[in-house]
């Protein structure tokens, strides 16, 4: 046995690399594995800390074991300044051995791009021998919401209170301590936090002791050893927060918000227990005996799944029943379920690398809906899943900008960020739901339980999950297709368009497929085909509750289903449980239209009505069918009174309304006519018998009617605005927006003052995003300047700014002018040029005039070089704007003509007239 000791200053031992960084250089070599970290941190947050304020002292001992003999140690470090770096062999018997000093090889390097430090020894480390790496260092507590960072709030005494919090995913643990900062390098952690007596601390595990420090007024908080886990899941919090808790579970917040923690405390405990039951593994038996959830004033993500210390934006955790809307309460329950699901999918079993992010996030998004539904079963979340997740991700996944769920081309920080997109989350959850309906819920549940048991405290790859599914898929008649279904949707981009052709005699349906693409010739691979589970219902068998596939459509193989009696209509993809769009013959589309106008929509499920609406609008947008056919079938919406189909409709109409720009007079009438029944039935008057979906539908219908010219809607909303303190909470988003859209400086000032005194995060968020509803130039500039100021937190700037150009089409030009004239100030406010490039790209996506496109070109020519690598976003925005202009030239004319003809008709269709009479009589009877 021998011992080694290396003591060097980082300034001399860590020299910046001068070589070009290759993609593989972004990954650590796997010849050394961490076993355990012992971390001690002392943050400086007090004003009396003077020049040390917003820095921290750190010391860490890392036990590592080389798998081969080596003289190099590779690990991550970023923005840390070292005063001591040393290591020695760990004695097998635990005794203390006097270390031996050795000189340092100056060839050691730090790669600034990868944050990888290479420490070189003159004596080789022995394979399978344990070593201790010891580092003493200082770091910065910056305000960018990454690493170990600072956040603040102003308390009721108008005092600024500073806190220290963490956000390590995906690659920011290296900013708090030197580490093997990749998910596959799991280890255990011991954390000790030194804090002033006025503060308290929290970390992943239970506090096992708090001891007076030698420095007067300071204490050392010592935490129990964590489970075997990845670095990105470690967390700590230094604050003056209060805690609502029982023996195992707690919710932490600033003291003034203690009353707002009750709902998340209740629902968090229930959801955690129910997910544990479903997975047959109680959370407290996974290896951590506590669960805390903390509301952080400044937080970059919506929330984070640190094992045992979940961290959230305040609006994602805190509820005031008198103020917080039902939709916000649902969002809070859902994000709690999402983060808690990660305790099993992500923390217990972790994706080996971010190429497989969907193994973490797909399941968390799945349980975000179906885990919440275990407890809050009145919200019909299984229906909301379809319009929120499936239909929303289909737009991105039908362009060349998409990526596969399993993407092995993942190396750089930009690649890592890309993997946290709707493909990993929405498509991942959609794919998981498709597998559940294909193999059956019981087998699906059993396979998840077995997967977790087999790979607990380990890293996972998609093949492990497939094997678990296949084990329980064996009794299914689709088991032979399981691997093909899995690989075609996880390793390929996109999804199929299924062409279901009902024969003229109604006795057979033939099926073929091709990849669905919104744009032709955009560089996307149009030849991709998939292995697809197909379910369907017909007018003769309209069982929309049976979602089990009837057959598997294989790539490149046509399939035909025959029927003993002639069908009138045929609808594929029952409850949209599989991931594909469907197109039919024109005759079948018309038959579906006829069925939808019959009583109770002929029993066609509301999810399938939503699917029909979404498919029609996107098929027409892509040129697969004519807009005349689409709009003809969509006339059925005059009878629609359900939230799910209307959400699909509004999502589709949003694209068209953007393309119309400011020429929306006929569109105004169209929206009012289609929504007449829903508007008359719901109105502004809430009822105690309203379902959650009726409450949500009322908000959408009112928002669209008030925005698109319904004078009665505007009048009632303005009346509510005149008494701001009594606006029903679920109507506030509509009332606030109408008040600013139709008002002036007085109305803005009233809402601004309400924002300045808000003490509920969800209400504060609603108020600040309502600011974007203003229309006159002076107020547009005022809101823009608020974004530049510190009055809007960094985490919220993007959302507030986006409403300024999305709520009113006529704002696109003035906001673009402001952004491009003050882009440097905006970059400073939003944390960099990348954020500004994204804003410009989003605005450019709403351009409808050639002159706007030319203005973008001029800006890019003059300024793109200042944006660094983000200039690619600016040039991509040019391409998008040009594509939209070309699309409008080729396709928008048909829509305009339809609106003009419909609006100019002297006589409403007989169907529409009957509908109007029916709705009017109904409204009178209900008074």
CA-derived radius of gyration, the chain:
29
Give the largest Cα separation in the chain, rounded. Answer: 99
Environment class of 597 (CB within 10 Å of its CB; exposed 0-12, middle 13-18, buried 19+): middle
Which contacts qualify for 278-282: CB closer than 8 Å, 24 or more apart?
278/371, 278/374, 278/445, 279/344, 279/445, 279/448, 279/449, 279/452, 280/449, 281/344, 281/449, 281/452, 281/453
SS (H, E, C) 87-156: EEECCCCCCCCCCCEECCCCCCEEECCCCEEEEEEEEEECCCCCEEEEEEEEEECCCCCCEEEEEEEECC
> Is residue 854 marked as binding?
no
The answer to whether 892 touches 659, Cβ cutoff 8 Å, is yes
d(CA 383, CA 376): 14
Q: Is the peptide bond before 453 cis (omega within 30 degrees of 0)?
A: no
Q: DSSP character for 883?
A: H
Whether 339 sits among the annotated catalytic residues: the reply is: yes
d(CA 44, CA 57): 8
Catalytic residue among 182, 305, 339, 747: 339
SS (H, E, C) 617-652: HHHHHCCCCCHHHHHHHHHHHHHCCCHHHHHHHHHH
d(CA 639, CA 648): 15
Q: DSSP character for 515?
A: E
Type and span of the H or E element at 289 = none
* Paired tokens of 313: 């934006």
> Is residue 74 marked as binding?
no
Number of Cβ within 10 Å of residue 431's Cβ equals: 22
* Paired tokens of 106: 């100056």
Between the alpha carbon of residue 776 and those of residues 767, 788, 851, the distances in Å are: 18, 19, 22
* Paired tokens of 353: 């690398």
Helix-strand-coil split of the chain, %, nearest 5: 50, 20, 30
> Is residue 338 marked as binding?
yes
The answer to whether 7 touches 124, Cβ cutoff 8 Å, is no
Buried b / exposed e along 361-387 (16+ C-beta atoms within 10 A): bbbbbbbbbbbbbbbbeebbbebbbbb
Type and span of the H or E element at 86 = strand 81-89
The answer to whether 751 touches 771, Cβ cutoff 8 Å, is yes
Q: What does 529-587 look like in DSSP terms, one character per residue? A: ---EEE-EEESS---TT--S-SEEEPTT--EEEE-SS--S-EEESGGG-SS-EEEE-HH
Environment class of 72 (CB within 10 Å of its CB; exposed 0-12, middle 13-18, buried 19+): middle
Q: How many CA atoms lie within 13 A of 508 on its CB side?
A: 8
Contacts of 61 (CB under 8 A, 6+ apart): 37, 38, 132, 133, 134
Number of Cβ within 10 Å of residue 849's Cβ equals: 15
d(CA 105, CA 15): 11
CA dihedral 651, 655, 661, 663 (to 10 degrees): -70
**Residue holding tokens 């698109």?**
708
Q: In sequence order, what are the beta bridge partners of 82? A: 137
Annotated binding-site ranges? 338, 342, 361
Annotated binding-site ranges for Zn(2+)? 338, 342, 361
Q: Which residues are the active-site residues? A: 339
């Amino acid at each position: 046995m021998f011992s080694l000791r290396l003591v060097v200053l980082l300034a001399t031992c860590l020299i910046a690399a001068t070589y070009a960084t290759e993609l593989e250089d972004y990954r650590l070599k796997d010849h050394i594995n961490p076993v355990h970290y012992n971390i001690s941190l002392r943050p400086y947050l007090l004003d009396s800390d003077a020049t040390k304020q917003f820095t921290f002292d750190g010391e860490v001992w890392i036990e590592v074991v080389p798998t081969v003999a080596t003289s190099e140690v590779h690990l991550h470090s970023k923005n840390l300044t070292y005063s001591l770096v040393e290591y020695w062999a760990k004695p097998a018997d635990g005794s203390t051995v006097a270390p031996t000093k050795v000189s340092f090889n100056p060839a050691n390097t730090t790669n600034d791009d990868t944050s990888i430090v290479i420490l070189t020894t003159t004596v080789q480390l022995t394979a399978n021998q344990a070593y201790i790496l010891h580092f003493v260092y200082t770091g910065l507590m910056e305000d960018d919401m990454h690493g170990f960072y600072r956040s603040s709030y102003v308390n009721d005494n108008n005092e600024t209170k500073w806190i220290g919090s963490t956000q390590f995913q995906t690659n920011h643990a290296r900013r708090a301590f030197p580490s093997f900062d990749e998910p596959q390098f799991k280890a255990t952690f011991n954390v000790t936090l030194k804090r002033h007596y006025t503060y308290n601390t929290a970390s992943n595990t239970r506090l096992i002791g708090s001891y007076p420090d030698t420095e007067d007024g300071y204490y050392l908080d010592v935490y129990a050893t964590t489970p075997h886990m990845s670095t990105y899941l470690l967390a700590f919090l230094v604050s003056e927060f209060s805690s609502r808790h029982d023996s195992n579970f707690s919710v932490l917040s600033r003291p003034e918000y203690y009353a707002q923690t009750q709902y998340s405390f209740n629902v968090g405990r229930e959801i955690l227990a129910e997910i544990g039951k479903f997975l047959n593994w109680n959370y407290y038996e996974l290896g951590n005996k506590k669960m805390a959830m903390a509301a952080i004033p400044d937080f970059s993500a919506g929330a984070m799944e640190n094992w045992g210390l979940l961290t959230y934006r305040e609006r994602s955790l805190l509820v005031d029943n008198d103020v917080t809307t039902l939709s916000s309460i649902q969002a809070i329950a859902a994000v709690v379920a999402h983060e808690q699901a990660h305790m099993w999918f992500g923390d217990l079993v972790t994706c080996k690398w971010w190429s497989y992010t969907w193994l973490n996030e797909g399941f968390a998004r799945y349980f975000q809906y179906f885990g919440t539904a275990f407890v809050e079963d009145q919200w019909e979340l299984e229906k909301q899943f379809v319009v929120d997740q499936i239909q929303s991700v289909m737009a991105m996944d039908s362009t060349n900008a998409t990526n596969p769920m399993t993407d092995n081309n993942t190396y750089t920080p930009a690649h890592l960020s890309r993997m946290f997109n709707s493909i990993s989350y929405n498509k991942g959850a959609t794919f998981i739901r498709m597998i559940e309906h294909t193999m059956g819920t019981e087998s699906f549940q059993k396979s998840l339980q077995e997967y977790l048991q087999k790979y607990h405290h380990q890293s996972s790859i998609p093949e492990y999950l497939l094997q678990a599914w296949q084990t329980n898929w064996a009794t299914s008649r689709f088991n032979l297709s399981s691997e093909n279904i899995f690989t075609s949707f996880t390793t390929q981009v996109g999804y199929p368009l299924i062409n279901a052709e009902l024969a003229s005699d109604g006795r057979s349906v033939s099926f073929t497929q091709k990849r669905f693409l919104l744009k032709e010739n955009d560089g996307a691979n149009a030849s991709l085909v998939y292995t697809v589970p197909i379910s369907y219902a017909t007018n003769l068998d309209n069982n929309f509750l049976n979602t089990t596939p009837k057959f598997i459509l294989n790539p490149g193989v046509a399939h035909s289903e025959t029927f003993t009696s002639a069908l009138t209509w045929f609808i594929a993809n029952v409850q949209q449980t599989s991931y594909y769009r469907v197109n039919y013959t024109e005759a079948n589309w018309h038959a579906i239209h006829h069925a939808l106008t019959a009583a109770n929509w002929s029993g066609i499920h509301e999810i399938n009505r939503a699917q029909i609406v979404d498919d029609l609008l996107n098929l027409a947008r892509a040129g697969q069918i004519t807009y005349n056919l689409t709009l003809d079938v969509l006339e059925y919406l005059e009878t629609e009174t359900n939230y799910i189909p209307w959400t699909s409709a509004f999502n589709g109409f949003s694209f068209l309304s953007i393309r119309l720009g400011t020429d929306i007079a006929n569109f105004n009438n169209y929206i009012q006519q289609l929504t007449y029944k829903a508007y008359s039935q719901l109105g502004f008057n809430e009822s105690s018998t309203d379902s959650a979906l009726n409450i949500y539908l009322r908000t959408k219908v009112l928002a669209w009617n008030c925005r698109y010219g319904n004078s009665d809607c505007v009048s009632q909303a303005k009346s509510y605005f005149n008494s701001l303190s009594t606006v029903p909470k679920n109507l506030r988003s509509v009332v606030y927006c109408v008040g600013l859209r139709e008002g002036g400086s007085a109305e803005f000032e009233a809402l601004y003052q309400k924002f300045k005194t808000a003490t509920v995060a969800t209400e504060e968020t609603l108020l600040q995003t309502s600011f974007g509803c203003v229309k006159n130039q002076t107020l547009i500039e005022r809101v823009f300047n608020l974004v530049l100021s510190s009055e809007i937190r960094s985490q919220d700037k993007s959302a507030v700014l986006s409403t300024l150009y999305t709520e009113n089409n006529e704002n696109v030009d003035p906001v673009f002018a402001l952004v491009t004239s003050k882009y440097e100030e905006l970059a400073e406010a939003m944390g960099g040029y990348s954020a500004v490039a994204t804003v410009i790209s989003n605005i450019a996506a709403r351009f409808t005039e050639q002159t706007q496109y030319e203005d973008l070109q001029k800006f890019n020519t003059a300024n793109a070089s200042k944006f660094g690598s983000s200039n690619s976003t600016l040039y991509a925005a040019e391409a998008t704007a040009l594509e939209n202009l070309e699309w409008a030239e080729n396709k928008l004319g048909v829509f305009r003509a339809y609106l003009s003809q419909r609006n100019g008709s002297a006589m409403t269709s007989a169907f529409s007239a009957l509908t109007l009479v029916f709705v009017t009589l109904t409204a009178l009877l209900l008074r």
